[in-house]
Chains A and B, each alone.
Chain A
Amino acid sequence: MNVRSQISMVFHLDKCIGCHTCSIACKNIWTDRKGAEYMWWNNVETKPGTGFPTAWEDQEKYNGGWVVEDGELKLRSTSKAKTVFNIFHHPNMPTMDDYYEPWTYDYQHLFNAPEGPDQPTAVPISMVTGELINIKSGPNWDDDLGGSPIYAENDPNLDGLTDQQRQQLFAVERLVLFYFPRICNHCLNPSCVASCPSGALYKRGEDGIVLLDQNRCRAWRACVAACPYKKTFFNWSTGKSEKCILCYPRLETGQAPACFHSCVGRIRYLGVLLYDASRIEEVAKSPVEDLVEAQRSLILDPNDPDVIAAARANGIHDSVIESAQRSPVYKFVKEWKIALPPHIEFRTLPMLFYVPPMAPVMAGKENGAVKNVSEDLFHDIEEARVPMRFLANLLGGGNEGKVRYALRKQKAVRWYRRALTVGDVTDAQAAEMLAQADCTPEEAEAIYRLTSLCTFDDRFVIPPMHREEAIEMMEDPLEHKQNTGFGFLTGPRRGL
């Protein structure tokens, strides 16, 4: 057992209202720079929809992530041998057209336009070329377009749905959509790291954050092609790739990352998971249908004395272990099993988990009134407008059982609380639902509290990162006395 700690995340999709506050917080802090205008380290997608960049989930198109061939884990986009040939022209490199060409507006024209018969307008201008631009699409062009034949109908997750299910999704009165916020998953088996010819990408040993060494990146572009979530971006101005850094300067000072901190719906949770690094490869090679379970088995119980001893032996600080014991992520993912990894079939073992959203029921009409009577207590889970198959493709690696389990438990918690507070559900009914959903009243109460009544400190259990001790090993603070500081002191000026 090789115990490591990982800062992990849960996004509760049932609470996301699609306000994009997270995206704006991130953009204002990190990507409001030349060459990075088009990047959205955090973005919110409408599902069903094609996302950003367009159809990123379609690996037939982008060739990201891993596949298992002859019992070996292999990158789809590159290999040691292929790197030699891919280095001049990467065959799987997306271009700006797959994202969008960033633009601004010529606001000065509103003030400077000469007097004339017409109102002056602010025309759109490309932020790359500075020329007039005819805007055809943008980063969030399909926002809320749940039933759109251009976007929603091309969602790769519709794969495997029956014609009837597809028609339901797009029938006018039954349209449905939910939001899917995304950041870098800080994977356990990151394909961006494995593909980087220069070794510029790395996973931090102490907290598992995946970073990109700007001094070592040489623009070979392999990471952009290899990441199946398309969360490494190429800065066309500096000639370096960039990615989400999980706001590590904030985490190191005990603050939640900006997108987490600003989340209006309070859908985001962050905490430490302890995991067994010696089994990563074995788990990543599991058969597709077992992947969700296999990844869960990697996550270790932070209260187990053996795990604690092994963690200490690996140099994990007691305060980090204590933080792992209070981790909300551990509860959602491992104890309650209601948070699931996105597209685990890409085999990067993402460490961002999603609680699947409850969807409105597919109600029938009788004599002009809505008819919704069923003997089945979990009726609206099975008859929801978002087919189980769709959610399974997105969050279960195709395994409907995992999604059904998570949704049934959420539904049972609602009925349990309804029995307690509203009273239109009998205690017997609530108890039966809990039993069927593999849930105890105590667990239901805990899920309810962490979902609905969670405070800031409940949602973000940030471990002390002890960077101060770590950095003292590398840099002598006194050496830099009366200096401007230490680290990356020059601006990111493009090379000649």
Chain B
Amino acid sequence: MNSVSSYLDQFFFLAFPYVALFTFFFVTIERYRNRKFTYSSLSSQFLENQQHFWGLVPFHYGILAVITGHIAAFMVPREILWWNSKPLRLYILEGSALVFAILAAVGLIAAIVRRANVSKMRKVTSPVDWVLFALLLIQVLLGIEVAVRYPWGSSWFATSLSPYLWSVVRLSPDISYVTPLPLTVKLHIINAFLLILMFPFTRLVHILVIPNPYLWRKPQVVRWYRRPVKA
């Protein structure tokens, strides 16, 4: 192993994840506390309705399914390996993961085309939005390439990436798990940390304010300055 790539590995897999995670937590909390008004999904459906459906719906379902898969492989690697022990089940998992990834890619491209082509859309698209689109597109395309060129990722994620990510969480990062991985996979990981780093500076923060309390709250909301005293 030459020293340059060794240094690069150390930077991207040892130091950079902590830079990304620290920024993520620090800025996200700071933004929520001091600039709460900026937490919004910044929906543009009001300005354009038709292409919105064909872009945003496949993208969200696709990306949510894929991220859920990644989180599952990270959280419960043993169960994933057990599931994959039967070839048919492995094919079903990998096949559906690829379908969702392609769904996300198609939706994302449709969303980008919509942003670029509709003149009203360009007015509500900031430079940061374009950076975010680029990062997301790179990430999804890299992911698809990994899935196609290095199949059965659901299994090798569990054996090589899960331990690495857990070592990062435990504050004793062990990069020996990731250094032997192919370049495409490495780029996918680096870009993932880049997305985490960029998260609080983009509209991605809307993920953190998904309105789950709606599912159990009462329909009507009344706010009192001073609660009436019950007789």
Contacts and interface: CB of A to CB of B under 8 A. Distances in A.
Interface of A: 80, 83, 87-90, 93-96, 128-131, 189-190, 193-194, 196-199, 201-206, 214-221, 224, 234, 236-240, 280, 310, 313-316, 467, 469-471, 473-474, 488, 490, 492-496
B70 interface: no
Given A89-B53, A95-B48, A128-B123, A495 B214 contact: no
Residue among A80, A214, A220, A469 with most chain B CB within 10 A: A220
A204 B220 CA distance: 11
Contacts of A220: 41, 43, 211
Given A83-B211, A495-B37, A471 B225 contact: yes
A214 B229 CA distance: 29
Nearest to B216: A80
A197 B62 CA distance: 22
Given A96-B47, A201-B221, A496-B202, A237 B126 contact: no
B225 A495 contact: no
7 contacts: A199-B211, A205-B225, A219-B43, A219-B206, A310-B231, A313-B231, A315-B229
A214 B37 contact: yes
A128 B120 CA distance: 7
Contact of A490 (B35, B43, B119, B230): B35
A280 B222 CA distance: 13
Contact of A493 (B38, B214, B229): B38
Interface string B73-97: 0000000000000000000000000
Nearest to B210: A87
Contact of A89 (B56, B210, B228): B56
A489 to B, nearest CB: 11
Contacts of B46: 93-96, 221, 224, 234, 236
Contact of B40 (A87, A190, A201, A240): A240
A219 to B, nearest CB: 4
User: Is chain B's binding surface mostly helix, strand, loop or mixed?
Assistant: loop
Contact of A221 (B43, B120, B123): B43
Nearest to A75: B219
B142 to A, nearest CB: 24
Interface in B201-225: 201-203, 205-206, 209-211, 213-215, 217, 219-225
Interface residues of B, number: 53
Q: Nearest 9 pairs between A and B by C-beta? A: A495-B38, A197-B211, A313-B231, A470-B225, A315-B228, A205-B224, A194-B219, A239-B42, A239-B40
Contact of A93 (B45, B120, B210, B219): B45
Interface string B115-156: 000011011101010000000000000000000000000000
B57 interface: yes
A76 to B, nearest CB: 14
Contacts of A130: 123
Interface of B: 35-49, 52-53, 56-57, 60-61, 119-120, 122-124, 126, 128, 201-203, 205-206, 209-211, 213-215, 217, 219-231
A194 B57 contact: no
A222 B120 CA distance: 22
Nearest to B49: A95
A128 B53 CA distance: 22
Contacts of B120: 96, 128-129
Given A314-B231, A471-B225, A496-B201, A218 B124 contact: no
Contact of B57 (A88, A94, A199): A88
A490 to B, nearest CB: 7
Specify which of A96, A129, A218 lies most central, judged by the most chain B CB atoms within 10 Å of its CB: A218
A310 B228 CA distance: 11
Most buried by A among B35, B41, B56, B201: B41
A315 B128 CA distance: 50
A236 B229 CA distance: 41
B220 A89 contact: no
Contacts of B49: 93, 95
A218 B201 CA distance: 16
Nearest to B50: A95
B211 A198 contact: yes
B41 A219 contact: yes
A299 to B, nearest CB: 18
A218 B225 contact: no
Contact of A95 (B47, B203, B211, B214): B47
A280 to B, nearest CB: 8
Q: Which of A203, A205, A314 has the most CB of B within 10 A?
A: A205
Contacts of B37: 214-215, 238, 240, 488, 490, 492-493, 495
Nearest to A313: B231
A118 to B, nearest CB: 28
A203 B230 CA distance: 19
Given A88-B60, A219-B43, A131 B119 contact: yes
Given A93-B49, A129-B123, A218-B206, A80 B42 contact: no
A495 B57 contact: no
